[in-house]
Amino acid sequence: MTAPFMDAPSSDRTAPAVDPAAPGPAPAAPGPLRRTLAAFTRNKLALTGAFVLLGLLALCYLGPLLHPTDQTHTDLSQASLPPGSPGHLLGTTDLGHDMLGRLMYGGQTSLEVGLAAGLLATLFGTVYGAVAGYFGGWADAAMMRVTDAALAIPALFLLVVVAAIVTPSKPVLILIIASVAWLSPARLIRGEALALRGRDYVHAMRLMGGGGTRAVFRHILPGAVGTVIVNATFQVADAILYVAYLSFLGLSIPPPAADWGSMLSAGITYTQVGHWWLIFPPGLAIVLVVAAFNFLGDGLRDAFDVRLRKS
């Protein structure tokens, strides 16, 4: 909320100053990338997030190789088995699908749509926000009012309306979610671009005769790259949640396709009879993957901030 307090005259005290009298060349300082990486690996939560994600990816994509299941045909003889049943570690659904296999299969959809939509939204939002922020003035005002209006309509309502208009397939679902999710990165990057444009080092570059291209590519974009990457992780987390919400509301890719949200939705009716194993595996999987992306994003934010904070 506020900048860390630091009074001007204290700069001499806190800086690990170079001794101008030191003989010989100083050892090269590590570059920003290496420092970012070092800071990231020091953050235990972020590392945990990264490992959890790797684990989930392995489960969803390598898991089916070790534990092949049939997720298209129903087998009522095997319906609604509790966890621990022979051959069905997590039990089966009301239609006889193996829960563990379904979790892997549904996870593929959730992760693919989430990643693709989150990245697409970040990409479009970044370009839109950077353009608005760099040009400023009327263009900025007009572009930002549009995002204001779109943000005023809660995302879920927009998603539901769009999903009700078109029948989603995987690519369509990605586009639908991205078409709503780009708004917040657009605003964020626009603010970042505006702030960076006013920095003294950009003024300094202009005074050397440098132009807009150089300002954008050498100073503004590298300055914003941390923000963009951090935001992308949060966007992916949000997109995974959106997929789940849409599926839960019955507006996602129609069966027999599955994802974690639709698995939960299918399980609701059976909560009455105590089939808890239909709810918890997909629910916890969503919580786990979203939390992992959030931890990753937090860790990255700290890592990217590190060089600025230590100044």
Partner 1 sequence: MTADPLSATTRPAPGPAAPLLAVEDLHVEITGRDRTVHALDGVSLDLAPGEALGIVGESGCGKTMTALSVLGLLPKGGRITGGRILFQDGSGRPADLAAAPEPALRDVRGNTIGMVFQDPLTSLNPTVTIGAQVAEPLLLHRETTRRDAWAKAEETLRLVGMPQPAERMRNYPHQLSGGMRQRVAIAMALVCEPRLLIADEPTTALDVTTQHQILELIDDLRARLGMAMILVTHDLGVIAKRVDRVAVMYGGRIAERAGVRGLFAAPRHRYTEALFAALPERAAAERTTLATIPGLPPALVTRPVGCRFAPRCAHATARCRTEEPALAGEAGHAYACFHPAGAEPVAAAEPAAAVDSVPDDRPTDPGILLDLDNVTKRYALHAGPFARRRGAREVGAVAGVSLTVTRGETFGIVGESGCGKSTLGRLVVGLEPPTDGTIRFAGRDIGALSRRELRAHRRDVQLMFQDSYASMDPRMRVGTILREPLVIQGIGDRAAQLRRVGALLDDVGLPRGAAERYPHEFSGGQRQRLGLARALALSPSLVVADEPVSALDVSVQAQILNLMRDLQREKGLTYLFISHDLAVVRHLADTVGVMYLGRLVETGPAREVFERPLHPYTRGLLDTVNAPDPTAPAAGTPLTGETPSAAAPPSGCRFRTRCPAARARCAESEPAPTEPAGPGHRVACHFPLVASPGPVSSG
Partner 2 sequence: MIRFLVKRVAQAVVVLLLVSVIVFVLLHLLPGGPARAILGVKATPESIAHFNHQQGYDRSLPQQYVMYLGRLLTGDLGESYKLNQSVTSLLAERLPKTALLAGLSIALAAVLAVPLGVLQAVRRGKAADYLLTGAAFLAYATPVFFLGLVLILVFSQQLQIFPAEAPQADTVGGLLADAPALVLPVVTTALGIIAAFSRYMRSAVLDNLEEDYVRTARAKGQSSARVMARHVLRNALIPLATLLGLYLPTLFSGTLVVESMFNYPGMGLLFWNAAQGSDFPVLLGVTLVVGVATVLGSLITDIAYAVLDPRIRSVS
Q: Which residues bind partner 1 (CB under 8 A)?
A: 7-13, 15-29, 31-32, 137-138, 141, 199-201, 203-210, 214, 218-219, 222-223, 307-308, 310-311
Burial class (CB in 10 A: 0-12, 13-18, 19+), 210: middle
| Contact map string, positions 148 to 177, toward partner 2, x by CB under 8 A | xxxxxxxxxxx-xxxxxxx-----------
Residue choice 178, 286, 300, 303 for contact with partner 2 (CB under 8 A): 286
139 touches partner 2 by CB under 8 A: no
Q: Which is nearer to partner 2, 69 or 231 (CB)?
A: 231
Binds 214: which of partner 2, partner 1, none (CB < 5-8 Å by kind): partner 1
Residue 135 C-beta: closest distance to partner 1, Å? 14
The whole-angstrom distance between residue 277's C-alpha and the CA centroid of its chain comes to 28
Q: Which is nearer to partner 2, 160 or 257 (CB)?
A: 160
Give the residue with the Cβ less far from partner 1, 119 or 221.
221
Q: Which of residues 226-245 bind partner 2 (CB under 8 A)?
A: 237, 241, 244-245
Written as one letter, the residue type at 292 is: A
For the chain, how many residues are written? 311
Question: Would you say 66 or 200 has its CB closer to partner 1?
Answer: 200
Residues 88-127 that bind partner 2 (CB under 8 A): none
Give the helix ranges, DSSP H, for 67-154: 99-135, 137-152
CB of 93 closer than 8 Å to CB of 157: no
DSSP SS3 for 92: strand
Shortest distance in whole angstroms from residue 269 CB to partner 2: 11
User: What does residue 194 show for φ and ψ, rounded to 5 degrees?
Assistant: -60, -45
Of 155 and 215, CB closest to partner 2: 155
Q: Residue 179 Cβ, how far from partner 2 at the closest point, in Å?
A: 11
Q: How far is the CB of 208 from partner 2 (least distance, A)?
A: 37
- Taking the alpha carbons at both ends of the chain, their separation in whole angstroms is 19
Choose among 246, 276, 251, 234: nearest CA to 167.
Answer: 251
The two tokens of residue 203 are 């003024």
Residue from 70, 84, 287, 310 that binds partner 2 (CB under 8 A)? 287
Inter-residue contact 106 to 258 (CB < 8 Å): yes
The rounded Cα 70 to chain-centroid distance in angstroms is 31
Look at residues 184, 192, 186 and name the one whose alpha carbon lies nearest to residue 223: 192
Cβ-based neighbours of 309, under 8 Å, separated by 6 or more:
4
Question: Per rule CB under 8 A, is residue 70 in the interface with partner 2?
Answer: no
Among 61, 124, 135, 276, binds partner 2 (CB under 8 A): 276
Nearer to partner 2, 234 or 304 (CB): 234
Tell me: does residue 1 bind partner 2 (CB under 8 A): yes
Instruction: Give residues with Cβ within 8 angstroms of 292, minimum separation 6.
Output: 48, 49, 50, 52, 53, 56
Residue 192 CB, shortest distance to partner 1, in Å, is: 14
Q: Contact, 49 vs 295, CB < 8 A?
A: yes
Q: Which residues contact 235 (CB under 8 A, 6 or more apart)?
A: 118, 119, 121, 122, 125, 181, 184, 185
Q: Give the residue with the Cβ less far from partner 2, 216 or 266.
A: 266
Residues of the shown chain interacting with partner 2 in the complex, contacts defined by CB under 8 A: 1-2, 4-5, 145-146, 148-158, 160-166, 237, 241, 244-245, 248-251, 261, 264-265, 267-268, 271-272, 274, 276, 279, 283, 286-288, 290-291, 294-295
